[in-house]
Structure 1
Amino acid sequence: MAVNNPYKAYQQNSVTQSTPGELTLMLYNGCLKFLNQAKKGIETNNIELKNTNIQKAQNILRELMVTLDMSQSVSESMASLYDYMITQLIEANIKNDAVILDEVYGLTIEFRDTWKQVIQTNRQKQYGAPGEI
């Protein structure tokens, strides 16, 4: 099936041609986007916007959890942190609490930025030159 919209074609190619590390980075960025939308929903008292986007953020965190390599020692800690973040999002959704969303947003930023550094370090090792993402 041909894609007539060039933007959709670009998006599709971005996903299909990305490395697993880049896909993880996309998940973090998507989670941040949905958390921003959820906060906007709280601020404007748009319950549907808040609920839908919190659920999308939770789904991304669940996906990040199931893709952890549990043979790595850090994975157990990451799984606990993702579980904590999901629980916090449930609380934020029930209580309409933007402060809780901000906490999860901050953790997601930290994970995303750390992941970006890992990708850059791996590229430098692989290609011997600084890599920009």
Structure 2
Amino acid sequence: MAMRNPYARFNQYKQNNIMQASPEELTLMLYNGAIKFINQGILFIEQKNIEKTHNAIMRANAIINELNATLDMKYEVAKGFRPLYDYISDRLVDGNISKNVDALKEALELVTELRDTWKEAMVIAKKK
């Protein structure tokens, strides 16, 4: 008898949410994912688990790089995000190389501010 994946329904639910999400909601999901992985990186540094630290930070950095790569530079605001995403990525790399919690906390603070601002913008846009 084949063993079923106990998380299959949950994974299907997550997949459906992603497929049905608006671009604005997808961006919010990316910010939340980056925050989750940075927090994991901090936790794993404290636990001295080098491999898990590296993997979590790499996942967070991949999200930031995706956000950076998908900026539409025809908008002036996007030009302001590029150096910010680059800086966050640099802090993540520094934190990963040196296992520096302070660098990760700085990145976490910036990503959290971006996420919170994005959520506010989504609320304002829905009112219009």
TM-score (norm: length of structure 1): 0.89
Aligned equivalent of 1:16, options 14, 19, 25: 19
- Residue 38 of structure 2 aligns with an amino acid whose one-letter code is L
- Residue 81 of structure 1 aligns with an amino acid whose one-letter code is L
Displacement of 1:6 in angstroms is 2.1
SS at match of 1:37: helix
TM-score (norm: length of structure 2): 0.92
In 2, the alpha carbon distance for the partners of 1:12 and 1:96 equals 32
What is the match of residue 103 of structure 2?
100
> How large is the Cα RMSD of the aligned pairs?
1.3
What is the match of residue 29 of structure 1?
32
2:61 aligned with 1:58 = yes
In 1, the alpha carbon distance for the partners of 2:86 and 2:8 equals 37
Q: Any unmatched runs of 5+ in structure 1? A: 126-133
Equivalenced residues, count: 123
In 2, the alpha carbon distance for the partners of 1:90 and 1:52 equals 12
Aligned equivalent of 1:74, options 74, 77, 82: 77
Pairing 1:111-130 to 2, within 5 Å after superposition? 111-125=114-128
Question: What's the % identity of the aligned pairs?
Answer: 41
Q: Which has the higher contact order (CA 8 A, sep 6+)?
A: 2
- Residue 42 of structure 2 aligns with an amino acid whose one-letter code is K
